Amino acid sequence: MENEQLTIRRAIEGDEAALRSLWTRHAPHIDMVVRRLVGFEPDLAEDIAQEVWIQIFRALPSYRGDSQFSTWAHRIAVNRTLNALRRTKRLAAIETEVEEDSAVVEMDTERSFIAASIESAAAKLSPGARTVFVLHDVEGYTHEEIARELGITSGGSKSQLFKARAKLRKLLAHLIEAPEGRTTRDLEHVTPVC
């Protein structure tokens, strides 16, 4: 950690190698957070991730070291992504949506198939449900933290999470092999382990 503090100090002073080092070390996690919150829109996720890194580097002089750099950068990523999604939602209300057919190339392995299926299913959630699902079940935020972050009630967060999990169960039912004598319809009432 002391090495990272030195890197941060050098980055604040404008050392490009230090900035690149921070980006190299933390970009995979930050980019994944952005992609999960955005859903199945890779171009939008890439644009927002760039905005996030610009914000992180601009805010770097305000980093006080009260928390780990990764935690501080993660918070910026979540806030900036949510703000960008709000802005995109306002613009989308004005624009006419154009449907586009696109092919998704799947890897041959079962694991990548399952991961792609989950990503695809999560992308089909409503923006509110997807955001709460990612923040709670993927990123580990509490309902109270989510409520503060999104400007909703804790109960609203719980409700969105319930709806997200219910829809994901339906969307991913084809991945579950039903036990003897049961159909996937019988499994809709099984609570997922999260």
Please tell me the predicted confidence (pLDDT) of residue 42. 86
Residues 42 and 73 in one domain: yes
Looking at residue 91, its pLDDT comes to 60
> Could you tell me the two tokens for 137?
């079940």
The whole-angstrom separation of Cα 187 and Cα 194 is 16
- Residue 169: the pLDDT is 87
- Contact indicator for 59, 76 with CB cutoff of 8 Å: yes
102 within a domain of the structure (yes/no): no
Is the domain of 19 the same as that of 48? Answer: yes
What local confidence, expressed as pLDDT, does residue 93 receive?
A: 57
Residue 109, pLDDT score: 67
Token readout for 194 is: 């999260």
146 with 55, same domain: the answer is: no
46, part of any domain: yes
Query: Phi and psi at residue 50, in whole multiples of 5°?
Result: -65, -45
Position 51 scores a pLDDT of 92
Q: Is-contact 74 25, C-beta < 8 A? A: no
Can you give the pLDDT at residue 94? 55
How confident is the model at residue 50, as a pLDDT?
92
**Which domain-ending residue is among 96, 123, 158?**
96
Domain contains 186 = no
Inter-CA distances, 138 with 23, 43, 77, 135, 177, Å: 22, 22, 15, 6, 24
- Average confidence (pLDDT) per 10 residues, the chain, 194 residues: 85 92 94 88 90 93 90 92 80 52 49 76 86 87 88 90 89 69 48 47
Domain carrying residue 78 = 1-96
Q: What is the pLDDT of residue 187?
A: 47
Q: Is residue 187 part of a domain?
A: no
The number of C-alpha atoms within 13 Å of 101 and in the hemisphere containing its C-beta is 0
